[in-house]
């Protein structure tokens, strides 16, 4: 199936799975627990059910874990997902996080073409195995989703200078004035690297050196230095060009 670009906001609610059970002691979880006891020695394990929202290989949402309803997990969680993904399906993956690692229960698929018109879709979707065959329990997952194309956003292409721009919704921090953002092509560029990239207003892009700017910002700081990031390596060399040496002030 062809990929379709989803550029906008996807509102998703994952309600529940109707049943994850084969029959009697043929329960999926009995098999998992038995495997744990025989190979790991943890004793009786507790199923921890969770579900995710995937756009192809991009995981864009995940529920909490359910431990007290292993055969009929009910999450009732909603997600507001900002999309710029190419996908053929919205995929709902159900897993059990047990002592030997996450065990795939199955996946449910909703074709992207069914949500492009922006209408709300509320449906029980069949859960399939890795070969896309119905799992033995005949399980279904109840989901609701609605897609809002970015062109339906009243602030689209108007910029943040719009007097009525409310800021990005569903975020932790509101819009603030007086902020500055510097965009870098690379962390470091040589002196003779001057690509001719036209910008608005008849100007051209001027490459800057990220690490050197960080060095200058730190050495020129008057009161505080805040450094944030997923991972910060403190041993990194900020000054890398022997012809452009700088000293701490």
Q: Are 220 and 240 in contact (CB under 8 A)?
A: no
Residue 245 pLDDT more than 70? yes
Question: Distance between CA atoms of 103 and 107, rounded to whole angstroms?
Answer: 12
Mean pLDDT of 126-146: 93
Per-residue confidence (pLDDT) for residue 92, from 0 to 100: 97
Can you give the residue ranges of every domain in the chain? 4-152, 180-249
* For residue 4, pLDDT beyond 80: yes
Report the C-alpha gap between 156 and 150 in whole angstroms: 7
Average confidence (pLDDT) over 30-49: 49
What is the pairing mode between strands 140-149 and 49-55? unpaired
What is the secondary structure of 125-181 as a DSSP string?
Answer: EE-B-TTS-B-TT--EEEEEEEEEEGGGSTTTTT-TT-TT----TT-SS---SS---
Token pair listed for 239: 């000054």
Which of 181, 249, 238, 244 has its CA nearest to residue 211? 238
Q: In the structure encoding, which two tokens stand for residue 215, read together?
A: 């060095």
Does the predicted model carry a pTM greater than 0.85?
no
- CATH dotted code for 4-152: 2.60.40.150
pLDDT of residue 231: 85
Range in 66-70, 144-148, 180-184 the model is least confident about? 180-184
The DSSP H or E segment spanning 111 is strand 101-111
Q: How far apart are CA 152 and CA 163, in angstroms?
A: 19
Give the C-alpha separation, 104 to 94, whole Å.
6
Contact 35, 112 (CB under 8 A): no
Tokens of 220: 């020129």
Confidence of residue 36 (pLDDT cuts 50, 70, 90): very low
Mean pLDDT of the chain: 82
């Amino acid at each position: 199936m062809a990929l379709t670009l989803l550029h906008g906001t996807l509102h998703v609610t994952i309600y529940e799975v109707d049943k994850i059970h084969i029959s009697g002691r043929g329960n999926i979880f009995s098999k998992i627990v038995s495997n744990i006891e025989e190979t790991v020695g943890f004793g009786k394990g507790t199923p921890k059910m969770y579900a995710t929202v995937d756009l192809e290989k991009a995981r864009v949402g995940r529920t909490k874990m359910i431990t007290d309803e292993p055969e009929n997990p009910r999450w009732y969680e909603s997600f507001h997902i900002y999309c710029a993904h190419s996908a053929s399906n919205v995929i709902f993956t159900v897993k059990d996080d047990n002592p030997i690692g996450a065990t795939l229960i199955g996946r449910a698929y909703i074709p992207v073409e069914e949500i492009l018109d922006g209408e709300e879709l509320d449906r029980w979707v069949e859960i399939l195995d890795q070969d896309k065959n119905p799992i033995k329990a005949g399980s279904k997952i109840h989901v609701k989703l609605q897609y809002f194309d970015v062109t339906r956003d009243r602030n689209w292409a108007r910029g943040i200078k719009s007097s009525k721009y409310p800021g990005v919704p569903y975020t932790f921090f509101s819009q603030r004035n007086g902020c500055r953002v510097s965009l870098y092509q690379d962390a470091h560029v040589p002196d003779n690297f001057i690509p001719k990239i036209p910008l608005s207003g008849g100007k051209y892009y001027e490459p800057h050196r990220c690490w050197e700017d960080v060095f200058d910002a730190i050495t020129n700081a008057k009161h505080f230095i805040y450094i944030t990031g997923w991972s910060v390596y403190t041993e990194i060399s900020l000054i890398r060009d022997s012809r452009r040496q700088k000293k701490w002030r």
